[in-house]
Structure formats: structure tokens, C-alpha cells
């Protein structure tokens, strides 16, 4: 970062925003460099049976021979959310090698509080966690869980990347906010990236497209400024010629 500032001859105080793009999320999936994810499913009665079936996604094929492995535990919520049972489930999943957690409950898009509480308990144990309701508002539990599992599998690596990037920016003396490019060309802060790294999967191409559009905008402005300057010079030249002709004509009349 310091080398970039020096090369561009920019003072750290002049930087007002940093938009960081990364291909780490994409590379993690392509190379299978993902964490094992533990799924904690919630429910009771018929909805509990549905959660047992749809949230237990098993091994997820990522393509190219890469796989994403998951663990699974179910917590019955007939008497409310028993936090002791949740902690026991989390400890069991961690014991199986799970490095990130997904909380999944049918219809949590309408009331995400139990999913969010499971994730809070997981973070207390040092496990990054994702509630399915944070990534999709679809009612289909299977698809929501799969999406959350893919997201959670990238959390450990992406959190590490976020910390290193923030440290590099701070060491360079830049006080401007650090943002991360999203796949849709927008930006989000590091706190959001730590929770939803899946939104950065096409961050690299999005940044390239945004840079190209910005360059084209600058070029268009430069061309317009150049054209205005040329037109101004032409107008001044015509006026100067007219003044000289007028002066000669006036001198001839007086002579």
C-alpha cells in the first residue's frame, strides 16, 4: 500500500475511499480450500421433520473434484430454544472438525431470532456463523441452507483476509474507510464481508468493469475539455484576426 502511494505520488490524507476487490472467495470454491461447516437445524413437529431432512445437506460437490464437507445436529424447539442443547450441539460439531456454523430453521425469514441466537452462541465459542435468513428471503429451506453452507465455508479464510487488509491500510497511514467490491459492482464494509463473503465471489470482474467505466468517464470528460479548449482557442484566434483587420481598416481611413 505504501509503495502504491509513493508510485502515484499521493498523500495518505488525500485518499477518501478504498474499494478492495478480491478473488479469494472464487478461488476457495474452485480449489476446494473451504472449511468444514456444521449445520444446526431447529424445529419441532412436522417442521422439525422437514428441518432434519432439508437442512442436512451432506457433502456438497463444488466441481472439479472439490468437495465441501458438513456436519449436522438437530435441536428440538418444542419448549423454546434450549441454549444448553445448542451449546452441546456446537461443541459436538467443533469436535468433528467443523470450523464454521450455519443455523437453519423453517420459515426463519419471517422470524430469524432463533437462528441469530444460535449464531451468537457459536461466535461465543470462536466459531464464525451464518443464519440462513441473512442470505436469502426464499422459503425453500434446502436452498437457503446450501447457500448459507457455501457462505460459511469461506468465512475463516475471508475473515483472515479482511483482518490483513485492514491492517495494511492502517499501517499505510490511510484513515479513509475500507470497502470491499461486491459481485454486483456495489461496495460493502468489512463487517458485512465478514458475515457474507459469498457476495464477493465475482468481486474481481466487477472491479474491472467498474474501473473500465470510470476510465471511460474520465476519458470522455478529458475529450470534452480538450474540445472546449480547442474551440476556445479558435474563437480567440478569430477575434484576434478580426481585431487586426479592424485596426488596419481604421488606420487606412485615417491615412
Q: Give the least confident one: 19-23, 118-122, 144-148.
A: 19-23
What is the residue whose three cell numbers read 479482511? 162
Model confidence at 170, pLDDT cuts 50, 70, 90, reads confident
Q: Give the least confident one: 16-20, 110-114, 220-224.
A: 220-224
Average pLDDT rounded to a whole number, residues 106-127: 95
Model confidence at 229, pLDDT cuts 50, 70, 90, reads low
Average pLDDT rounded to a whole number, residues 165-173: 84
Model confidence at 2, pLDDT cuts 50, 70, 90, reads confident
Residues forming a β-bridge with 70 = 37
What is the value of pTM for the model shown? 0.70
DSSP string computed for 97-114: T--EEEEE-TTTTT--HH
pLDDT tens digits along 64-73 = 788 999 999 9
Model confidence at 225, pLDDT cuts 50, 70, 90, reads low
CA distance linking residue 161 with residue 111, whole number of Å: 32
Q: Are 193 and 163 in contact (CB under 8 A)?
A: no
More confident residue, 129 or 236: 129
Q: Are 136 and 16 in contact (CB under 8 A)?
A: no
Distance of CA 28 to the CA centre of its chain: 15
Q: Are 17 and 52 in contact (CB under 8 A)?
A: no
CA distance linking residue 158 with residue 152, whole number of Å: 10
Dihedral angle over CA of 242, 246, 247, 248, nearest 10:
100
Model confidence at 145, pLDDT cuts 50, 70, 90, reads very high
**∠ CA 131-71-108, rounded to 5°:** 25
So what's the pLDDT on residue 207? 47
So what's the pLDDT on residue 40? 98
Q: Give the least confident one: 58-67, 78-87, 126-135.
A: 58-67
Q: Are 70 and 151 in contact (CB under 8 A)?
A: no
Residue extents of the structural domains in the chain: 2-201
pLDDT tens digits along 184-219 = 777 778 777 777 877 776 655 544 545 455 545 555
Question: Which residue from 38, 16, 20 is spatially nearest to 197, judged by alpha carbons?
Answer: 20
More confident residue, 52 or 157: 52
pLDDT at residue 18 tops 90: no
Average pLDDT rounded to a whole number, residues 150-154: 89
Please classify residue 135 by burial: count the beta carbons closer than 10 Å to its beta carbon, then call 0-12 exposed, 13-18 middle and 19+ buried: buried
Per the prediction, the chain carries an average pLDDT of 81
Average pLDDT rounded to a whole number, residues 87-101: 96
Considering the domain 2-201, what is its CATH architecture? 3-Layer(aba) Sandwich (3.40)
What is the residue whose three cell numbers read 458485512? 192
So what's the pLDDT on residue 42? 97
Amino acid at each position: 500500500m505504501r509503495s502504491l502511494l509513493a508510485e502515484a505520488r499521493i498523500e495518505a490524507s488525500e485518499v477518501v475511499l478504498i474499494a478492495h476487490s478480491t478473488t479469494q472467495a472464487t478461488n476457495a470454491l474452485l480449489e476446494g480450500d473451504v472449511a468444514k461447516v456444521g449445520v444446526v437445524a431447529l424445529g419441532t413437529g412436522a417442521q422439525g421433520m422437514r428441518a432434519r431432512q432439508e437442512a442436512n445437506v451432506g457433502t456438497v460437490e463444488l466441481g472439479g473434484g472439490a468437495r465441501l464437507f458438513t456436519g449436522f445436529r438437530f435441536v428440538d424447539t418444542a419448549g423454546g430454544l434450549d441454549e444448553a442443547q445448542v451449546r452441546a450441539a456446537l461443541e459436538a460439531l467443533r469436535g468433528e472438525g467443523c470450523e464454521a456454523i450455519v443455523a437453519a430453521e423453517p420459515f426463519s425469514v419471517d422470524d430469524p431470532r432463533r437462528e441469530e441466537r444460535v449464531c451468537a452462541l457459536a461466535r461465543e465459542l470462536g466459531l464464525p456463523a451464518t443464519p440462513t435468513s441473512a442470505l436469502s428471503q426464499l422459503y425453500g429451506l434446502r436452498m437457503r441452507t446450501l447457500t448459507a453452507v457455501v457462505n460459511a465455508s469461506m468465512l475463516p479464510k475471508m475473515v483472515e483476509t479482511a483482518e490483513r487488509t485492514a491492517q495494511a491500510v492502517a499501517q499505510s497511514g490511510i484513515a479513509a474507510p475500507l470497502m470491499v467490491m461486491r459481485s454486483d459492482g456495489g461496495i460493502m464494509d468489512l463487517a458485512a464481508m465478514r458475515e457474507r463473503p459469498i457476495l464477493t465471489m465475482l468481486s474481481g470482474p466487477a472491479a474491472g468493469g467498474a474501473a473500465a467505466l470510470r476510465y471511460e468517464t474520465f476519458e470522455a470528460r478529458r475529450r470534452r475539455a480538450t474540445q472546449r479548449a480547442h474551440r476556445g482557442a479558435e474563437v480567440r484566434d478569430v477575434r484576434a484576426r478580426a481585431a487586426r483587420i479592424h485596426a488596419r481598416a481604421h488606420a487606412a481611413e485615417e491615412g
